[in-house]
């Protein structure tokens, strides 16, 4: 969210930009820097040549410290400590690795996968497939948590993930997540351990 807010601030100086911050938030959910440029260009905006790099520079410099822990994330991760986990993001794996260290959450994850170390971007399933391969698991035996009804859910479905959980706690719409293919919807991360227990029983 802070990144999308920053992008909104930058765009206010660009001729022809008339989107509200709320519309932009939804439009750019789950998008990486390259995709942000593609989406905004398709909307008719003329962006500075270095806009993609401007986003990447901001993310690398600021993300590990400005990102905040989602409510109850540590409780959830602790409850699922025995379940092997990786982060598969449309962002940069190196940035997520740093962010988890800053937030003291890195002990819960075995690896980080993004566009920088896989060469793929959602909705392509490559990031999820790389995570599953790293864990030595068939994707049909993997559970994916997604908050992006667009590229994220599409990637999860294309990866043949056995269970896809839509998460609304970061602002995503439950109906959109469900219609995009989520098998289950959770509003709070504390619901996840109980769901995993139910699925494994």
Shared domain for 91 and 125, answered yes or no, is yes
Shared domain for 62 and 90, answered yes or no, is no
Shared domain for 61 and 116, answered yes or no, is no
Q: What's the distance, CA 11 to chain centroid?
A: 22
Q: What is the CATH number of the domain that holds 189?
A: 3.40.50.1000
pLDDT of residue 59: 86
CA atoms within 13 A on the CB side of 61: 6
Shared domain for 33 and 132, answered yes or no, is no
N residues, the chain: 201
Shared domain for 44 and 122, answered yes or no, is no
Shared domain for 50 and 80, answered yes or no, is no
Which tokens sit at 94?
Answer: 């190196």
* Spatial separation of the C-alpha atoms in residues 156 and 127, rounded to whole Å: 9
DSSP state of 29: T
- Asked which of 44, 66, 88 is the last residue of a domain, the reply is 66
Domain count, the chain: 2
pLDDT of residue 91: 87
Shared domain for 110 and 128, answered yes or no, is yes
Shared domain for 110 and 162, answered yes or no, is yes
Which tokens sit at 47?
Answer: 């962006």
- Asked which of 66, 98, 121 is the last residue of a domain, the reply is 66
pLDDT of residue 1: 66
Which tokens sit at 163?
Answer: 């269970």
Torsion of CA 133, 59, 168, 166, to 10 degrees: -20
Shared domain for 99 and 25, answered yes or no, is no
Burial of 82 by CB count in 10 Å (0-12 exposed, 13-18 middle, 19+ buried)?
exposed
Q: Give the domain range for residue 29.
A: 2-66
Shared domain for 86 and 62, answered yes or no, is no
Shared domain for 57 and 86, answered yes or no, is no
Shared domain for 181 and 102, answered yes or no, is yes
Q: What is the mean pLDDT of each run of 10 residues along the chain (201 residues)?
A: 88 91 88 92 94 91 82 96 96 91 95 95 97 98 95 96 96 95 97 96 88
pLDDT of residue 87: 97
């Amino acid at each position: 969210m802070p990144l999308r807010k920053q992008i909104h601030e930058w765009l206010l100086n660009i001729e022809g930009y008339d989107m509200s911050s709320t519309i932009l938030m939804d439009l750019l959910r789950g998008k990486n820097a390259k995709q942000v440029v593609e989406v905004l260009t398709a909307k008719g905006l003329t962006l500075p040549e270095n806009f993609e790099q401007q986003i990447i520079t901001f993310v690398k410099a600021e993300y590990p410290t400005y990102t905040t822990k989602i409510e109850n994330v540590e409780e959830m991760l602790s409850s699922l400590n025995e379940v092997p986990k990786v982060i598969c993001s449309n962002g940069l794996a190196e940035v997520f690795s740093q962010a988890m260290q800053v937030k003291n959450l890195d002990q819960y994850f075995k690896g980080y996968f993004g566009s920088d170390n896989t060469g793929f971007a959602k909705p392509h399933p490559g990031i999820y497939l790389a995570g599953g391969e790293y864990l030595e698991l068939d994707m049909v035996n993997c559970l994916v948590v997604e908050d992006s009804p667009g590229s994220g859910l599409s990637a999860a479905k294309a990866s043949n993930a056995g269970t896809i959980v839509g998460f609304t706690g970061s602002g995503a719409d439950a109906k959109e997540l469900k219609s995009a293919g989520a098998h289950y919807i959770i509003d709070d991360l504390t619901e996840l351990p109980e769901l995993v227990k139910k699925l494994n029983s």
